[in-house]
Chains A and B, each alone.
Chain A
Amino acid sequence: MRTALALIGTAEAAHAIDARQVIFLLALFAASVLFILGLRGLSHPDTARRGMQMAAVGMLVAVLGTLLHERIVTYEWIVGGLVVGTVIGIPMGLWIPMTKMPERIALSHCFGGLAVALVGVAEYFNHRIELSPFDAGAVGFEVLLGAITFTGSLMAFGKLQGILPGRPQTFPGQNAINFTLLGLAASMLVVLVAQPQIQPVFYAIASLGFLLGILLVAPIGGADMPVVICLLNSYAGLAAAATGFALDNPVLIVCGSLDGGSGFILALIMSKAMNRSFRNVIFGAFGTEAVGLAAVGKTDAAIREGTVEDAAELLKAASSIIFVPGYGMAVAQAQHAVRELAELLQKQGASVKYAIHPVAGRMPGHMNVLLAEANVPYDQLYELEAINDEFPHTDVSVVVGANDVVNPAARSAPDSPIYGMPILNVDQSRAVIVLKRSMNPGFAGIENELFVRPNTMMVFGDAKQTVGKIAAAIKSGG
């Protein structure tokens, strides 16, 4: 029999539990509690850091407890792995810029999936003869999900980083092939449960996992990567939970469920904010159809273009201002310039707020991090539901590098691909200033009628420079 830890012992088994085993089990228990308490800390920015520290302590306790485990007999490979991992982990934690967070998160899902898949393979390789059907099923599931997460995250990373083309890569019959392969993997899992010792079946499951990760992410466009990253987060968690089942280790199940649940909830929030169903994101290949819809009349004829001075005049006269940042602001690295302009306007007595759409940025909450990094106090950042009623009472809304999330077509044009998507109602404010690089349509390739409204002033150019010039004009004029 495997030396799995006896979670529930009969009276005889209880005698067999030695002190090391007790410490190990208690360490896992303490870690589980600390992880949940730590996660609870994230419900408020003031308690979040303490929560994170609790979780870090939990991790340390779990690792130290495990090092005492009776199955561990040599330490050189462990120390080697810990050292190399730390050496790579430190720069990944300290030096990656905040704009690159989506890429970084995708890459770490990739490491997570790899770790879980390798543990599963080693576990099967060592114990294939003695695996019970239940263990075999858990290991197979673990390896399948771990492998999908590994290659899927690599694909997502490549698309985000621009190594791979961001456009959906599609071919006829793609969904049918993917479904067939998924079905094949599922039926092989069933065979593995029935006959755990048939090695080719196990390795076929692992290979299918690696292949599926690539095939499932390939048809998904760059704009949908936030949902994909969240889903991969969820897979990584489920894979860890499956490891917990296979190894009889409850802390893995607790962590895996938290991780899996969090990824799934975030994926739901993101796809709702993007007005898409899961099915549509995963099997839709959105980017290709939207281009055709872009040419629905409404040319640049009615655009009211303003100068930097016009914008400065408008802002100087305003007593309430809402900034609406989009990813274009981050691309132009204009966060600091925007914050300086906002502070200037506040000094002149105006009330300034920031409206953050859930999909502003390239992953959930990304824009909040970018603004926090630029020293914007978090109590000036408002979520969509909290600020949408304020636009009608607002003098000027300043849209910086955002497009689809402020497109009124989402409310008024049933034939628009974004119809029904929750948007920030900037068009209801008394005046709108849109800072934009050029008249190209946004990421989803959809025309925006906000730009041709009579109360909208377009200011073209690099967001960072434009914002800086507006601030200078206000200073010199005031």
Chain B
Amino acid sequence: MPLERLIILLYVFVLSIFVGYQVITKVPQLLHTPLMAFTNAISGISLVASLVIAGEGKNTLSTLLGAVAVTAATINVVGGFLITDRMLKMFRRKGKGAA
């Protein structure tokens, strides 16, 4: 059973890397800073792991560690999306209609 699990997860891992390579290499240099802020925001997905640790009530230590992890991940999610949006809003073409 663990081996089957491992292989399925390896599928997910390797295919994600392929997809990621294709998608990321198409991001123009123009947007590389927003790209970093964006990946930073979605890396806050470790929130889904932290939430379980903070909420499963196993013992005080792990609950506390979980709560700090939830805080840290939330900072990245909230701050990451806000700053990405702030940057992307600034990218404008020369006034609409102007040749």
Answer yes or no: do A and B interact.
yes
> What is A's interface to B at a CB cutoff of 8 Å?
4, 7-8, 28, 31, 35-36, 38-40, 42-45, 48-49, 52, 55-56, 58-59, 62-63, 66-67, 69, 71-75, 77-78, 80-82, 84-86, 88-94, 96, 98, 101, 104-105, 108-109, 111-112, 114-116, 118-119, 121-123, 125-126, 132, 134-135, 229-230, 233, 236-237, 240-241, 243-245, 247-263, 265-266, 269, 356, 358, 363-366, 368-369, 372-373, 375, 377-381, 383
In the complex, which residues 61-99 of chain B have their Cβ closer than 8 Å to any Cβ of chain A? 61-95
Smallest CB gap from A65: residue in B: B48
Q: Are B70 and A39 in contact (CB under 8 A)?
A: no
Q: Are A52 and B85 in contact (CB under 8 A)?
A: yes
* CB-CB nearest 4 A-B residue pairs: A85-B74, A93-B82, A81-B70, A365-B32
Cβ-neighbour of B29 out of A85, A252, A260, A368 (below 8 A): A368
Smallest CB gap from A146: residue in B: B46
Q: Are A81 and B67 in contact (CB under 8 A)?
A: yes
Distance to closest chain B CB from A193 (angstroms): 12
5 sampled A-B residue pairs with Cβ under 8 A: A39-B24, A39-B39, A77-B55, A92-B75, A126-B53
Cβ-neighbour of B33 out of A55, A58, A368 (below 8 A): A368
With the chains together, A260 CA to B40 CA distance in Å? 10
With the chains together, A109 CA to B46 CA distance in Å? 12
Cβ-neighbour of B24 out of A71, A229, A262, A356 (below 8 A): A262
Q: Are A253 and B71 in contact (CB under 8 A)?
A: no
Smallest CB gap from A96: residue in B: B83
**Given A66-B47, A73-B57, 20 additional A-B pairs, CB 8 A:** A7-B5, A39-B38, A43-B23, A45-B30, A48-B34, A59-B45, A67-B51, A72-B55, A77-B64, A80-B71, A81-B66, A108-B75, A115-B47, A118-B50, A122-B69, A125-B65, A233-B39, A237-B43, A377-B95, A380-B94
Q: Are B36 and A93 in contact (CB under 8 A)?
A: no
Given A122-B53, A252-B49, the answer on whether A43 and B42 have CB atoms closer than 8 Å is: no
Q: Are A81 and B24 in contact (CB under 8 A)?
A: no
Cβ-neighbour of B21 out of A105, A240, A261 (below 8 A): A261
With the chains together, A423 CA to B75 CA distance in Å? 38
Q: Are B75 and A111 in contact (CB under 8 A)?
A: yes
Residue numbers in B under 8 Å from A80 (CB-CB): 67, 70-71
Per-residue interface assignment for chain B, residues 2 to 26, with 1 indicating a CB less than 8 Å from any chain A CB and 0 otherwise: 1011101100110011011101111
Q: How many residues of B contact A (CB 8 A)?
A: 85
Cβ-neighbour of B5 out of A8, A84, A265, A372 (below 8 A): A8
Q: Are B91 and A122 in contact (CB under 8 A)?
A: no
Residue numbers in B under 8 Å from A62 (CB-CB): 45, 47-48
With the chains together, A119 CA to B45 CA distance in Å? 12
> What is B's interface to A at a CB cutoff of 8 Å?
2, 4-6, 8-9, 12-13, 16-17, 19-21, 23-59, 61-95
Q: Are A81 and B71 in contact (CB under 8 A)?
A: yes
Cβ-neighbour of B51 out of A78, A89, A108 (below 8 A): A78
Q: Are A112 and B36 in contact (CB under 8 A)?
A: no
Q: Are A71 and B52 in contact (CB under 8 A)?
A: yes
Q: Are B42 and A28 in contact (CB under 8 A)?
A: no
Distance to closest chain A CB from B50 (angstroms): 6
Residue numbers in A under 8 Å from B19 (CB-CB): 36, 258
Q: Are B26 and A43 in contact (CB under 8 A)?
A: yes
Given A71-B56, A240-B43, the answer on whether A86 and B83 have CB atoms closer than 8 Å is: no
Q: Are A257 and B13 in contact (CB under 8 A)?
A: yes
Residue numbers in B under 8 Å from A59 (CB-CB): 41-42, 44-45, 47, 77, 81
Given A52-B85, A71-B55, A368-B33, the answer on whether A265 and B24 have CB atoms closer than 8 Å is: yes
With the chains together, A358 CA to B95 CA distance in Å? 26
With the chains together, A109 CA to B32 CA distance in Å? 16
Given A123-B53, A134-B6, A241-B13, the answer on whether A261 and B24 have CB atoms closer than 8 Å is: yes
Q: Are B90 and A245 in contact (CB under 8 A)?
A: no
Q: Are B74 and A82 in contact (CB under 8 A)?
A: yes
Given A115-B73, A265-B24, the answer on whether A45 and B56 have CB atoms closer than 8 Å is: no
Q: Are A263 and B39 in contact (CB under 8 A)?
A: yes
With the chains together, A229 CA to B27 CA distance in Å? 18
Residue numbers in B under 8 Å from A94 (CB-CB): 82-83, 86
